[in-house]
Amino acid sequence: MGLPRRIAGSAMVVLLLSGLLGGLLSVPAAAATAFKVLQMNLCNSGIAGCYQDGRAVDEAVVMIQRRLPDVVSVNEVCLSDLPRLTAAVGATAAYRFAFVRNRSTNSDYQCTAGRGAYGSGIIVKEGIATGGHGTYTAQDGGNEIRAWACALSAVRGFTACTTHLSTTGTTALAQCRELVPATVLSHDPTGSPTTRHVVVGDLNLKYNPGSATNAQNCVPSGWFRKGDGDVQHVIARTLTFVSTQKYAMYRTDHPAFVVNYTF
């Protein structure tokens, strides 16, 4: 009877050691990295009725400082606004600008009071390796030739793009389909299906199931969209969605829109 007890005791020691070593050797799962995108339309051209003497830029700087985004998209801004907005994002941040063209003059559309070219900006906190900008083939009959800008980040290799699309729904949808995915993917040198992308802006399209101009109709397979309930959206790939928030802004006619992701 003594021998079986010794064997049982030895077996118990082996099991305890195995459990202990297994716990010591196990590697905890890596924590997810937060990734935040901020979209704002600042109505800062000086032409539209919602213009408030540039104070929307002051409000945007405060919004950036409070929300601490990784990527910021700003529409209806002047090129001269971008250095200040970029500095608010961070010391390593950089931007690319989408220059809206003026059909009647065949030159860059200008903000009032000599504040420079008018358009949209994409700001990346970690800096930009390469980028580009251009106008769409599809355009409505208005004087503004709509544009896009994209940037490949300097560190983590994701692509971020901004745009402000036509106020004519069918044209806006055609422009969105030009941008996503072909133009966005042209700024991804890896060509990898796992590379992260975000397309951010005022699309002048709403989520409206059954409508021919439903914002969802420009979301390709493998991508997903999050919207503010109106015309501001983020279309993304290879990111894990967490939440959205809207924040009131008082110097422009659009709220600030935040989308939180992890990867």
Q: What is the chain's mean pLDDT, rounded?
A: 91
Task: Give the separation between CA 248 and CA 145, rounded to whole angstroms.
Answer: 29
Domain presence at residue 14: no
**Separation of alpha carbons 58 and 54, rounded Å:** 7
| 251, 55 Cβ separation under 8 angstroms | yes
What pLDDT does 29 receive? 63
pLDDT, residue 94, reads 98
Structure tokens, 215:
């914002």
Q: What are phi and psi of 33, to 5 degrees?
A: -95, 125
pLDDT for the residue numbered 224: 98
The pairing of strands 256-262 and 240-247 is antiparallel
Kindly state the helix (H) or strand (E) to which residue 169 belongs, with its residue range. helix 169-178
**Higher pLDDT among residues 54 and 2, named by residue:** 54
Residue 15 lies in a domain: no
Closest CA to 203 of 185, 221, 217: 217
pLDDT-based confidence at 54, cuts 50/70/90? very high
Q: In terms of residue numbers, what domain contains 173?
A: 34-262
Q: How far apart are CA 172 and CA 168, in angstroms?
A: 6
> Is 28 within the bounds of a domain?
no
CATH assignment of the domain containing 98? 3.60.10.10
Distance, CA of 32 to CA of 91 (rounded, Å): 24
- Phi (first) and psi of residue 97, to 5 degrees: -120, 135
Domain count of the fold of the chain? 1
**Is the predicted pLDDT of residue 249 greater than 90, yes or no?**
yes
Q: Check residue 263 and give its pLDDT.
A: 93
Residue 93, CA atoms < 13 Å, CB-side half-sphere = 23
116 is a domain residue? yes
Tell me what pLDDT residue 191 has: 82
